[in-house]
Structures are given as C-alpha cells and as structure tokens.
Homo-oligomer: A and B are copies of this chain.
Amino acid sequence: MTQKKISINADRLWTDLMALAAIGADANGGVTRIALSDADQDAHEFLMARMRDAGLRVDVDDAFNVIGTLPAKKPESGQKALIGSHLDTVPNGGKFDGALGVLCALECARTIRENNIELPWDLEVISFCDEEGGHHAGTVGSRAMTGALDPEEILRPGPDGRPSFAENLERAGGDPTRIHNAARPASDIAFFLEVHIEQGRNLESQRADIGVVTAIAGIQRTEVIVAGEAAHAGTTPMKLRKDALVAAAPLFTLLPKWASSRNSEMTATIGRLQLSPGAVNVVPGECRFTVELRSRNAGDMQALQNLLDRHAARQSNWRLQPLYRKDPVRLSTPLQDRVTLAALREGLAARNLPSGAGHDAASFAPHVPTGMIFVPCRGGVSHHPDEAIEQRHAAAGCQVLLRTLMILSGEGGRLDPA
C-alpha cells in the first residue's frame, strides 16, 4: 500500500510560531504568558482565530482548555484523536516550549483538511490550560480533562500569595465550580500525541532530528520548613542560637549525594529558599525551601522521599508539606513504534529517550495510549529567553506527527492500550 506524499507547510508553521512569540514578548527576547493572564488569553484568541480560519470547530471547556475539532467524515468508532500541548509559559520563558506542540497540531489539522484526508476519528487540536504551574501545580487543564484533578487544588494561592487558579479562572470569565465538567471518559479517546522541544541535550549531541519518548519522569515536590529562633546577630552568643539555616544546611549536601547514589537518571533539586526575617544582622528564625525529586522509577523516588522524611524526623522543628506529586509514566509502546516508523518514512533520524521534564502527555498516559515526539533545542536550554530550535526541526516534528496520524488512520488504525 502506498500513500500520496502529503507535506505540512513549514513556512506557515514558522510564521505562526513567530507571530505567537510576539504575544507576551519580554524586552530581553523571552516570553511571559502565565496561564489565564491577559497575555495568555491574547494567545488563545490568536489560536482560536487560526483554528476558525482552518475550518475547525472551536470550543473552550470548563477547564479553559481550547479545543479545535476537525470532525471525521465517516466516524468509525466515535472516538476522538487528541493532539496538542500548551500556550502558557514560565515567567520570561522561551518561544517554543508548549507553543510548538499546539501549532504543529494546528498545522497538521490544516494540512489534513486541505488534502481532504479522511480520518476514522474526530481530530481535536488542543491547547491545555496552565501546564507550567503558573498558580499552584502544573498540567491543570490536562489533569482536569482526564479526571485526575483534585478540585481543592485550584483554590490554593499562587506563588507569593498571588491569586489562585480558581480566582483567575473566574476573572477570565470561567466558573471554577464547573471544572469537573472538563473530565472525559478514557473510552472516548483513541490516543493522545504531543510534539515538544526536548529541553535536554540528548538529541543535539546524538545529531538526531526526532526523539521518540519512552517514559516521563515522576515529580515529587515537598516544602521543608525548618523553625529556629530569630535573634540579634550581635548580642546572641553562638552557643545560645537556634539558627534555622545552620540546622538546614547539612541536607543541602546530603540530598544530591542520595540522588546520585540511587541511579544516574534521578534528580533532586532545592530551587527555592527563603530565610526569615532575612536581615543581614538577624539570626534566621526560619528557613523554608523546596525539595523536588524526579525519577522514571517510582520506587527510587519513594526511597529518596523516605530518606528525606527520616532526616526531617530526626531533627527538631522540621515540618514537611507535600506540594505536588506525579507518578512516572511509560508511554504507549505501539505509539512509539508508529512514531519511529513515521520518522523512518520521512527520512529522519529518530532516537528513543525518556523525558525528565513533565508534560500534559503525563496526564493522559495512565488512561489512554499516549505518545510524545521530541525535537532538539539548542544546548538543551529551555524556560529561558535563549530557548531556540531550528526551523527544519519544527517542520520535522510536525511532519512526523502528520505521518503518524496517517499511519494510525491506515493499517495501524486502531491501537490496543499499551
């Protein structure tokens, strides 16, 4: 069986990427589109206009996920094929994280419609709300869609006491009490496919065009609050002090040792730390910091969390506050095979690799066949104004997504759950 060679429009895709990057652009070349902010809403208006131009039916669900649907001409199963990613960014982030996946999905739907290709499922191009955790934890929209979102979570305040997701959803015209309506049964979804930049250096160093993602690391975040006693730095003798930073410090050295000795892919990071009252001449009365653990192996992650718990329990006045937990997931093997085949047929070099970063795909993987297509990014830099990709890699990711859809709609049409 031969298929007519159909190609996405690489220039149109790049033009869209650059136009989108102008929305929420920072003076230093970065992009700031915190979920539900004005810039994020502007980006979604841009997307919805492009979707309508492409002939898609546009919906916004109760989690503020934006969905552009290309209905199947002869629906076989009543199932939907989901492709997409997110448009929100971290503060002063890059132009491609998330945006590439959404615009590749749009470009695929456009190409399919222009070429009058018949698919056996409704094709949904989706931009998920708040993947980056602009309020509390990330992947809010995708977890709402898979029914895995705790409705209490969206009530928690954002960083530094900023408004909660619920408050900002309401401000944007949504109704936080209806967010559970965004949940969809797994049986309605044929599969989910996401294109994304790698955010690491594997593909670049191996000179590969396409990454076929095998698994997504789990994430466990804990806030540690070490209580000491604030005191005047000039009049409180060393031996009478309860210095919260001095009490916390040994863990800063232990934690990376624990992680490295566990396995080579595991990571442990203290990224945020605050001393109170935080004055040059006051002994710290409190040291508050975040511990983030990541691993593809749930057992390793739990073992490291246990070490942290035991260390804290042996100290006095340590308190641990769980912030966020997402189990590691394996992605669908049949989908990995189809993506690899698609890359092969397109003459592109593909490599299998895991993802250390979290993604909307991790929300879908436990429920429906899920796949991810990575493209290289320069130096592995991401969440930064310097985030960059080559235009040919954007086109390659998009073309492989299209080709995978074609393969799935042909001889590999129906997927058994992985």
Report the copy number of this chain in the oligomer: 2
* Contact indicator A256/B238 (Cβ below 8 Å): yes
Name, among A232, A250, A259, the residue most crowded by chain B CB atoms within 10 Å (CB to CB).
Answer: A232
Expressed in whole angstroms, the Cα–Cα distance for A284 and B268 within the complex equals: 12
Q: A238-B268, A252-B249, A283-B269 are in contact. Are A233 and B278 (CB under 8 A)?
A: no
A window 110-135: CB within 8 A of B: 133
* Bound complex: CA A163 to CA B219 (Å): 42
Q: Residue A316 at the B interface, CB < 8 A?
A: no
Report chain B residues within 8 Å CB of A252: 245-246, 248-249, 252
Neighbouring B residues of A232 by C-beta, 8 Å: 199-200, 356-357, 380, 382-383
Query: Roughly how many angstroms separate A246 CA and B249 CA in the complex, as a whole number?
Result: 9
- A282's partner among B221, B250, B271 (CB-CB below 8 A) is B271
Q: Mark A238-254, 1 if CB is under 8 A from B, else 0.
A: 11010101101110110
A239, B264: Cβ atoms closer than 8 Å: yes
Which residues of A, 208-233, contact B by the 8 Å Cβ criterion? 217, 219, 221, 230, 232-233
A356 contacts across to B, CB distance below 8 A: 232, 234-236
Nearest B residue to A323 via CB reads B280
Q: Assess whether A173 is interfacial by the CB under 8 Å rule.
A: no
Q: Do B267 and A271 touch across chains, with their CB atoms under 8 A apart? A: no
* Nearest-neighbor residue (CB-CB) of A90 within chain B: B279
Q: Does A206 contact B (CB under 8 A)?
A: no
Of the listed residues A235, A256, A266, the one surrounded by the most CB atoms of chain B closer than 10 A to its CB is A235
Chain A: interface residue total (CB-CB under 8 A): 59
CB–CB B273/A233 < 8 A:
no
A270 within 8 A of B: yes
Q: State the Cβ distance, A326 to closest chain B Cβ, in Å.
A: 11
Residues of the B chain whose Cβ atoms lie less than 8 Å from the Cβ of A270:
245, 284
Q: Give the docked Cα–Cα distance between A221 and B219 (Å).
A: 39
With A232-B383, A294-B233, A357-B232 in contact, do A279 and B271 touch (Cβ < 8 Å)?
yes
Is A246 in contact with B238, judged by CB distance below 8 angstroms?
Answer: no
Indicate whether A139 reaches chain B with its CB closer than 8 angstroms: no
Q: Given A234-B357, A238-B264, A280-B290, list of 10 further CB < 8 A pairs?
A: A90-B279, A133-B281, A199-B235, A234-B267, A235-B356, A237-B265, A239-B264, A245-B273, A246-B253, A269-B282
Residues of chain A whose beta carbon lies under 8 Å from any beta carbon of chain B: 90, 133, 198-200, 217, 219, 221, 230, 232-239, 241, 243, 245-246, 248-250, 252-253, 256, 259-260, 264-273, 275, 278-284, 290, 292, 294, 323, 355-358, 380, 382-384
